[in-house]
Amino acid sequence: MYHYRKGAGAERELIKMFSERGFMVVRAAGSGVNSLSPDLLAFKSSAHYAIESKAWENDRLAIKRDQFENLKKWTETAGITTFIAWRKNRERWVFIPLSVFKEAKESYTIGWEDAKLIGRDISDL
């Protein structure tokens, strides 16, 4: 239950951040339960984003292969830009494009230092 509350809290934080910047935001039904859809969809004029949020304290983030490939389908099928939004405690949110993740045996991964260098800030979206 702790992980669900932490994840839901992170999603609500992102909803607020996007809303404050003029986006219309939808939290996906089943968020955190299945890997078929991203956690959030954010829309503003010509900017359309699918966001998978991760509040994760490790220095390496791993996204399970099936979840990652479903996120890629959102980009390919819907033409929407998809990001993994990652935040560690007392750090800023980093929006990471799927293209920079490294493929591993059972997942796609990125390290925190690389994410901070490559990822974008919400003000850039």
* Active-site pick, 31, 53, 99, 123: 31
DSSP three-state, residue 17:
helix
CB atoms within 10 A of CB 25: 19
Q: d(Cα 105, Cα 85) in Å, to the nearest integer?
A: 22
Active site residue 31: yes
Q: What is the dihedral of CA 23, 98, 9, 18, to 10 degrees?
A: -10
120: which DSSP letter?
B
Which residues carry out catalysis? 31
